[in-house]
Structure 1
Amino acid sequence: MPYHHGDLRAALIDAAVDAIESDGVDRLSLRDLARRVGVSHAAPAHHFGDRTGLFTAIAADGFDRLVRELEASGGDFVAAGVAYVRFATAEPGRFAVMFRPELLREDDPALAAARDRAGDLLRAGAGAGAGAAAGDTRANALAAWSLVHGFATLWNAGAIDAPAGAAPDELARAVASRLFLRGTDAP
């Protein structure tokens, strides 16, 4: 569908995410992106400079969206983990780019700010609440992130043999509850 009005930058990001979801990160080109959106081949370069700039914008947008999901979880330890999985499985194109430093401008201020906000929210949940294990907050945060990131990555790759009709966030809640709420009446 050709682009006609509105926010071209956002339209380019959304089209790039769609292309990543269908064809993978490695096949995305600015020329193909311009064709998909129906604009001149110079339009993506005008907004992002190059592929690295485009991927950086996608990652920053992804972290901003992840922040909104984490904030909506209310700060509960397990709920934040489920929100992470929900985001990653609903936004696989963005998620595929966010943790690929070789694709990104790591020193980009928008990316750094969005990544820091998401990290702060994840770390805050790991250090407090009934779901947090006693001990080192940094180790708790790394354990929690490893679990939910690994789960989401496996789900997105189709490597989890889930029961028919199982939703990723429901299964993630069950897994996280077993590990993070030991000794309680986990749902």
Structure 2
Amino acid sequence: MSTSTRAYHHGDLRAALLRAASESLEAGEPYSMRSVARRAGVSPAAPYRHFADRDALDAAVAVEGFTQLRDELAAALAQVPSSASAEDAVSALGLAYVGFALRRPAVFRLMFGNPCDPADDERVRAADQLHVVLDRAIARLFPEVPSAGLSVALWSLAHGLAFLHLDGKLSAEPATDVGDRVSAAVSAVFRIGRAIPEKNTAAKG
């Protein structure tokens, strides 16, 4: 009996199906309710106990992805020493974000490649919780700056870097180069931010 089948008999069918769906996506296998059931080691009808159709399964996989990404960002920020600079903290968030995308590329594309159905309360809530983590982090790091716009700007930087690596526009190997590239991009943004007030001050003088 497979591990997934044992999980099903222990009442963990939903988790087994989500795991099987994520594994199928990342492996690039044909992906359907039937194939996910086969990978999970359950009957073709079993997935319908929890998911009405393929779209519902996709949404649940996306929710799981948003939750994991949120937790990884929070953990990355928690590991930054209190004495570290805001630049170091933002770099840590960027590295965690891009790292998640490169580890789980198919799930990451599913999370952000499909429109978020406003009627899907669970998915909307999971996406919102990710935004909350980012907004709170930026508000704490930059208390003197309106956090909403800055949060979107820095999220866009990390998100763009993630997809540039996923789409092969930037090399994802070796991992150390990816980390250096993310840190360099964040550093460049901070240098621009410091240069603007200095330039304005010089112009007034």
Class of the TM-score when normalised by the shorter of the 2 chains: 0.7 to 0.9
Q: CA deviation at 1:55?
A: 0.8
Q: How many pairs are equivalent?
A: 179
Residue 12 of structure 1: aligned partner: 17
Contact kept? 1:80, 1:125, Cα under 8 Å: no
Q: Matches of residues 126-141 of structure 1 in structure 2 within 5 Å?
A: 126-129=138-141, 132=142, 135-141=145-151
Q: CA deviation at 1:136?
A: 4.1
What letter is aligned with 2:23?
D
**Structure 1 residues 35, 162: CA separation in 2 closer, same or farther (over 3 Å shift)?**
closer
Which ranges in structure 1 are unaligned for 5 or more consecutive residues?
A: none
- Please, which moves more after superposition, 119-128 or 90-99? 119-128
- Please, which moves more after superposition, 90-99 or 164-173? 164-173
Percent of counterpart pairs with the same letter?
35
1:72 aligns with 2:70: no
Deviations for 1:134-182, whole angstroms, at most 9, x for unmatched residues?
7543221121111111111121222213664535344322222222355
Q: CA deviation at 1:96?
A: 1.3
**Structure 1 residues 77, 164: CA separation in 2 closer, same or farther (over 3 Å shift)?**
closer
Residue 57 of structure 1: aligned partner: 60
Residue 148 of structure 1: aligned partner: 158
Residue 84 of structure 2: aligned partner: none
Residue 168 of structure 1, aligned match among 171, 175, 178: 178
Deviations for 1:110-143, whole angstroms, at most 9, x for unmatched residues?
22222111101112233342xx597543221121
Q: Matches of residues 61-140 of structure 1 in structure 2 within 5 Å?
A: 61-74=64-77, 76-102=89-115, 105-129=117-141, 132=142, 135-140=145-150
More helix by share: 2
Contact kept? 1:85, 1:151, Cα under 8 Å: yes
**Structure 1 residues 97, 164: CA separation in 2 closer, same or farther (over 3 Å shift)?**
closer
Structure with the bigger RCO (C-alpha within 8 Å, sep 6+) is: 1
Which ranges in structure 2 are unaligned for 5 or more consecutive residues?
A: 79-88, 196-205
Matched residue of 2:169: which SS? coil
- 2:23 and 2:177 map into 1 onto residues whose CA distance is 22
TM-score (norm 2): 0.74
Find the structure with the greater CA-based Rg.
Answer: 2
Deviations for 1:78-107, whole angstroms, at most 9, x for unmatched residues?
3222221122222222211111334x5432
